[in-house]
Structure 1
Amino acid sequence: MQLVTNLRLAAGTAAQHLSDDPALLLLQISRRLPARAVQAVAQRVRRSSRPDSTWEPVLLASLIGGDQPDVIRRLEAALTRGRLSAEHSRALADIALVADRPDLADAFLVLAKGARRIRAAQARRFWYSGAMSAAVGILENAPNAAERQQGRRLAADLHILQGWRPELGAVRYEPLPRRVLHVLTNSLPHTASGYAQRSHSVLLAQQEAGWETLAVTRLGYPVQVGKLAARRRDVVDGVTYARLLPARLAATMDARLQQQAEALLSVALAFRPAVLHTTTHHVNAIVTRAVAEALNIPWVYEVRGQLADTWAATRGPEARNSERYRLFQEREKEAMLAADLVVTLGKAMKGNIVAAGVPETRVLVAPNAVGGIFLAEPLPAAQARTALGLDPEGQYIGTVSSLVAYEGIDDLISAFALLAPTHPRLKLLIVGDGVSSPALKEQVRALDLGGRVIFTGRVPRSKAHLHHQALDLFVVPRKDLPVTRDVTPLKPVEAMACARPVVASRLPALAEIVDEGVSGLLADADNPADLAEKLGPLLASAELQLLMGSSGRRAVLETRTWAANASAMSAAYTKLMEKAH
């Protein structure tokens, strides 16, 4: 029965996305299928087509294959040649948006006048740039029923950003002490992101500190990300994750959040927590706040990122002046001010929260930290490489990261290309996956570095520490953006626990982690030449690597453990409960 429910959920989600943004849906589906098979099909489609073909499957094949220049070349050629039908122009506009070229999308939309569902394409263009009211307005009186339905969905999303909240009546309730209910976006075992890893580590440490924990993920997860065999509960390392998987999801996002709030309230009444704890972004906050107010118990908002800035980073500097960005920031501020306690990752993020008006006494810094196997004495690099089937005699630099644009992995590859000619034993290890993976592999191919750059894809959690330990130097080449200046990542902390020097971009959030000249070095962001210049001397000195690695491990074990975070949170929870009574 659960499988039938899941299939209905998945079908409904796919149908909605197919209607709202078919090009983006096909790209997302491709990322969830086996990469090797997808790439093989994409290459076959491209090879069987003319070099100047603008047939939509060929363009999508180039996108899937990571060949962004080929997509842009074909789109620009189509505009130059002209003679495009309105329907074809509308389809090319959608592909241009997925390729992050709104300027080309605008040109195609001019040629698409008279196309079926042209308003839907125009709405996607407005939505892309954050002009949410314009996107809703253009669909309000659309002649097509599917477009009107899309308009209602977009209007609901805008309604949430304008301040809508779920409504729950107060209930008679008696909490049990030392119980905390976490409300999460995603989790292990279905998602292996840094977010999921941090959540799991927090839950484990709280259990070890004497708290009873339960985690609940968002409505429809993980079925909505393709996990059709998902169950209503998963237990990982003794941590329980509950799923909210109704037979049917409401048609619009505001109605779904009302549905989620009601389901979460039912879980809370059964579990009887004394504290609710949720994480960015504001959608989690409004649901958790509604349940906390219905139960009259405190709630905690953990600010792990600046998701408005993450979105803006993919759109260009003008996005920070958009309606979406402004409303998103307002809702985040509202959530922080309403929470009984705000938890965050570092000093830079705390400064932003206090600047938003949250009293400093209500902000707790719980940095990204280590525990479990990362506390054990690390293996020598050669031994870790042998365990992973890598050349134990080689030199390795690399990273463990989500492969997304702001992480700057393209700059790491460019820096490696500068070092490779003078370091014949040097190899680059890139551990992780993400939307930038195809483009990065294409960059390696174009630089003729294929035999010296290793992409592992996602690796099992049980082997993550071995990949850190297989490296001589761990690199964090993040771009210089608002989100990267303030948000501290987890992986370099784990690398330092493994006694590996860290070379990172010179950004405030990374300078909080890397003690320059002691545990690693800082290089200018967006500058592969400077990154290569910083890596070179470290590669030449095993003694310096050992010294910096030992210093970094010592600092992490003294200041950044999940047990220490759990102790600080436990004390903060206790104060909240005392204040509530």
Structure 2
Amino acid sequence: MNPKRPWRQNISLTGQTVVEHIVDDPIQLMLQISRRLPAKARGPVGKAIASLAGDRFGAAATVGQEIAGDRAGAEAALDQATQGAALTRSQGGSKAAHLADVALSMGDHERAERLLQQVPPASRRAAWYAAAARIALYRGDHDLAVEFASRHPRNVALARRMLGEQQVFAGYRPDLPAEPNYEPVTGRVLHVLTNSLPHTASGYAQRSHSILKSLVERGFEAQAVTRPGYPVQVGIPWAASEDIVEDIHYVRLLPTRLGQGLKARADQHAALLAAEVRRYRPAILHTTTHFTNAIAVASVAKAFGIPWVYEVRGQLADTWASTRGPQALTSQRYREFSARELDAAKSADAVVTLGENMKRQLVAGGVSEAKISVCPNAVGVPFINEPPTQGDARARLGLEPDVQLIGTVSSIVDYEGLDLLLRAAALLIPSHPRLRVRIAGDGVALPGLKVLAEELGIADRCDFPGRVQRAEAIWHHAALDVFVVPRKDLTVTRSVTPMKTVEASAVGRPVVASRLPALEELVVDGETGLLFEAENAGALADTLRSLLDDQPRIERMGANGREWALETRTWAANATTYENVYARLAR
């Protein structure tokens, strides 16, 4: 099948995306572009930018150091740029605004605010108000973000987008006219997704694909549609209007132009989804977090008179807050984000979630327990098949056969706590000369981990192979002696269960994980792995030592983990739950 590529829409969407990023947050645009570079290239590219920028272009030098993952270097460059600079006299505060944007990109909103406050009111122009609006949004104050963005006429596009976001988080829902003559096809289900294979290889995308495959194997007709603009918005301008992965159809909603602001995009999402429902004629709609998907789906389901399922895969308000400190938990955005998620779950005809902790939170928030089903992250082929041996995996990946290898296969973000793994390894290496650390994956925290490995003096014992293709993940699991999940103790990590631990157990690797409620659902302490005190490098080192010094225990826990995964965590078992949910809705 030759895929149809809507080049006119794709080119238009690409241009719109670039322009909006430049308007909304140009520094973040630069950082996002840099993250698409190969992992090995980011450090040299970032250092080259910093070197070329020098002292004259402090903002660019700071961004270069941040791209390279050198946070200390970035902070020093920002210090240099702000010392003695005539910020108040520079083009109406534009230099202060650019430096504030850089500080904000580093997560330092307090410093960003201090930079802006140096500019007297009479010297504040469009760039200053745009930066102030971005800081307010970062802190979760939608009302103040709209106020600042609306202060200068040159920021009209930014103000429109800030206003749309404020309205949706305050509870706006699209409204479609009823379609009384709609006739659905029995057994046909349409999943409405944020992203998907083959363009996104996250745990979210893999879970969606596994669910769809399991439903088709049970006799359902099932396909998926992704959010408007995806995948062009994430840097795939050659995207086709439909992708087929292992016989699963992923339909793309690619208009010529996306609505301006979150409110307009919610209306557009609902209208485009309604057109797809008329074409495909599903009997059930099934969507996932976060709530912006749900409000479009709820509107369409109401208009067509069909039931819908909301699958709560995470607490995205907590994910947002996890990078902003405890004050974020009392912000306007957090309160409204949490409220809209509960609204979505309450209004859905059925709710699915990943674990018992998440179910308890939903019930505590007022969602009827009777309509909640738990479908945990699970494994299918190839993890169900006999896994590769450790020797074969190491030979395939070009690794030394006789080292002690600890590590992970993961998205590399701050809340995963992988800096703790490096610190624990530094404590162990003097007494374990064969120890090596392997962290496979990619993400915003990867450059900083490489810098930390150098600072700890263990860079020669660490391997960062970068992004792993999905088909290769099992080999990276199998190469390890111990799989480590050192997640930080945050609201989001206490409730959301990851997929990677289940895969590691299925391959027969013991899992060492932070003692958090969500991870306690996945590691049978003392049987399939070990739990340690979160954010305690010494405790992690001691726990790892107890395994590394006892090879029979490693093998025993690995075997127990595989048995546990195959008995309790397969997509075939989950398919039964989905089938029951859909049957209940059909009745």
TM-score for both structures, normalised by structure 2: 0.96
Query: What is the one-letter code of the residue matched to 1:211?
Result: F
Q: CA deviation at 1:115?
A: 4.4
Q: Distance in 1 between matches of 2:49 and 2:14?
A: 28
Query: What is the one-letter code of the residue matched to 1:412?
Result: L
Q: CA deviation at 1:103?
A: 1.4
Q: Distance in 2 between matches of 1:249 and 1:266?
A: 16
Q: CA deviation at 1:159?
A: 0.4
Query: What is the one-letter code of the residue matched to 1:458?
Result: R
Give CA deviations for 1:292-351 in whole Å, capped at 9, x if unaligned.
Answer: 111111100000000000011111000010000011111111001000111000010000
8 Å Cα contact 1:54-1:74 kept in structure 2: no
Q: CA deviation at 1:104?
A: 0.9
**SS of corresponding position for 1:325:** helix
2:167 to 145, 149, 159: 159
Q: Distance in 2 between matches of 1:55 and 1:379?
A: 50
Aligned to 1:407: 416
Q: CA deviation at 1:56?
A: 1.6
Q: CA deviation at 1:38?
A: 3.9
Aligned to 1:209: 218
Q: Distance in 1 between matches of 2:8 and 2:218?
A: 39
Moved more, 372-381 or 36-45: 36-45
Query: What is the one-letter code of the residue matched to 1:64?
Result: I
Structure 1 segment 380-391 matched on structure 2, within 5 A: 380-391=389-400
Aligned to 1:58: 61
> Are 1:90 and 2:97 matched, yes or no?
yes
Aligned to 1:363: 372
**SS of corresponding position for 1:5:** helix
Q: CA deviation at 1:48?
A: 4.6
Q: Distance in 2 between matches of 1:20 and 1:380?
A: 49
Aligned to 1:344: 353
Moved more, 115-124 or 179-188: 115-124
8 Å Cα contact 2:13-2:257 kept in structure 1: yes
Query: What is the one-letter code of the residue matched to 1:57?
Result: A
Aligned to 1:173: 182
**SS of corresponding position for 1:332:** helix
> Are 1:36 and 2:40 matched, yes or no?
yes
Q: CA deviation at 1:33?
A: 2.9
8 Å Cα contact 2:149-2:162 kept in structure 1: no
Query: What is the one-letter code of the residue matched to 1:66?
Result: G
Aligned to 1:101: 108
8 Å Cα contact 1:497-1:553 kept in structure 2: yes
Q: Distance in 1 between matches of 2:270 and 2:53?
A: 50
**SS of corresponding position for 1:372:** coil
> Are 1:520 and 2:522 matched, yes or no?
no
8 Å Cα contact 1:53-1:74 kept in structure 2: no
Q: Distance in 2 between matches of 1:273 and 1:96?
A: 48
> Are 1:16 and 2:20 matched, yes or no?
yes
Aligned to 1:136: 146
8 Å Cα contact 2:39-2:466 kept in structure 1: no
1:148 to 156, 164, 173: 156
Moved more, 551-560 or 38-47: 38-47
Q: Distance in 2 between matches of 1:35 and 1:433?
A: 7
Structure 1 segment 66-465 matched on structure 2, within 5 A: 66-84=69-87, 85=90, 86-113=93-120, 114-117=123-126, 118-142=128-152, 144-145=153-154, 147-171=155-179, 172-465=181-474
Q: CA deviation at 1:53?
A: 6.0
8 Å Cα contact 1:90-1:112 kept in structure 2: no
Q: Distance in 2 between matches of 1:246 and 1:82?
A: 45
Q: CA deviation at 1:138?
A: 2.1
Q: CA deviation at 1:379?
A: 2.2
Q: Distance in 2 between matches of 1:141 and 1:467?
A: 52
8 Å Cα contact 2:58-2:80 kept in structure 1: no
Query: What is the one-letter code of the residue matched to 1:111?
Result: Q
Q: CA deviation at 1:448?
A: 2.4
Q: CA deviation at 1:54?
A: 5.6
Q: Distance in 2 between matches of 1:457 and 1:241?
A: 27
**SS of corresponding position for 2:527:** coil
Q: Distance in 2 between matches of 1:384 and 1:301?
A: 39
Q: Distance in 1 between matches of 2:190 and 2:565?
A: 28
What percent of counterpart residues are identical?
A: 49
Give CA deviations for 1:500-545 in whole Å, capped at 9, x if unaligned.
Answer: 0000000000001100000000011111111010001111111101
Q: CA deviation at 1:40?
A: 2.2
Q: CA deviation at 1:36?
A: 3.5
Q: Distance in 2 between matches of 1:44 and 1:257?
A: 41
Number of matched pairs: 575
Q: What is the alpha-carbon root mean square deviation over aligned residues?
A: 1.4
Moved more, 310-319 or 113-122: 113-122
Q: Distance in 2 between matches of 1:471 and 1:427?
A: 10
8 Å Cα contact 1:75-1:104 kept in structure 2: no
Q: Distance in 2 between matches of 1:477 and 1:252?
A: 37
Query: What is the one-letter code of the residue matched to 1:332?
Result: E
Query: What is the one-letter code of the residue matched to 1:39?
Result: G
8 Å Cα contact 1:109-1:122 kept in structure 2: yes
| Gap runs ≥5 in structure 2 | none
**SS of corresponding position for 2:460:** coil
Give CA deviations for 1:26-55 in whole Å, capped at 9, x if unaligned.
Answer: 1111112334344322212334565x6662
Q: Distance in 2 between matches of 1:335 and 1:127?
A: 23
Query: What is the one-letter code of the residue matched to 1:224?
Result: Q
Query: What is the one-letter code of the residue matched to 2:547?
Result: L
8 Å Cα contact 1:433-1:458 kept in structure 2: yes
Q: CA deviation at 1:258?
A: 1.1
Query: What is the one-letter code of the residue matched to 2:76?
Result: R
Cα 1:53–1:411, aligned 2, differ >3 Å: closer, same or farther? farther
Moved more, 37-46 or 197-206: 37-46
Moved more, 68-77 or 302-311: 68-77
**SS of corresponding position for 1:302:** strand
Q: Distance in 1 between matches of 2:582 and 2:239?
A: 32
